[in-house]
Structure 1
Amino acid sequence: MGHLADGLEAAVHKAFTRPIPKTAGARMRYLVKQLKGTKAAAQALGITQRTVERYVKDQIKRPRKDLAARMEREVTRRWQPQIRAQAKQKAATTDGIVIDTRARFGYEAAPGSTDDARLRHLTVALPPTYARRLFEAQAQGAAEHELSEIAAEALQEVYFKDAGRRASGLLVKFTDVEHVEFDL
């Protein structure tokens, strides 16, 4: 994943009401339950079915570093789906989303104005329509550049054009993202 996709996931994770299971056995039992079997859990994690069974029975307690990271990622991806859906729905219909980014912004504007790209740090509240578009694109498996285009359009309309009150011919280029964080 890229900066924007990771940022959207992190924003949704902040809405969780309970932490994910801590122990390897609890995480494995959760995955087995969610994936409806030890074979599916083994395939998702890239390990044998017997290894999954041993984690479920707490015969193995400490996974290797790479396996621990995969287990955490898979559990987090499936954790509290209703809370996740409610947070996305609320952002897409009423609250919107806040983007905090440090990136290079360039412009295509009328002749005589400067269009040199420069590094800026912006924190902007985006309306629900852009939150909905970002979440829909992410759900459809959009690439990082597609998410970046949606974010650039949102920042262009909300911040640079001030919702249509100025700079009507301005087109913003959003590149060299150093940092991006979303908040619901």
Structure 2
Amino acid sequence: MAQVTFKNNPVTLVGQEVVVGEKAPNFTVLANDLSPVTLQDSAGKVRLISVVPSLDTGVCSTQTNTFNQAAASLGEDVVILTISADLPFAQARWCGANAADAIQTLSDHRDFSFAEAFGVGIKELRLLTRSVFVVDKNDVVTYAEYVSEGTNHPDYDKALEAVKQATNK
């Protein structure tokens, strides 16, 4: 399992860590209108899955805005999903306040399904640890980054390069 800290304190991650080259596990999260969303809902597309502890924090907001801005250059075959344990209503409010219209924010607050499927649930806080995944059109994980300190930024350039490589397959 990935070794992760949050504010420099070790945390316990729940779930199964995903590995590059493996088939991505399915999950069920909630859209802002409370409808269920699964990985299979975006089948046939390249998925960049940006995972944040809470959209209402500086690093998470920057991460989400960075990927929202990058979306325009990634093309129609790419879907960007931002997943957190925030309530769907808070996610919708954040999107409206930040003009985030090129990504889909999804909530894992109800079942922690994504947290357990991708090994990103912080047991002590019931939040998701900062991470980024790229899943190709065949549902194979082609990139996985578990950020070692939850308050640090992911490697945006590497994640976006992984998306571009996945779209060229």
Larger of the two Rg values belongs to structure: 1
- TM-score scaled to structure 2, two decimals? 0.26
Which has the bigger relative contact order, CA under 8 A and spacing at least 6? Answer: 2
More strand per residue = 2
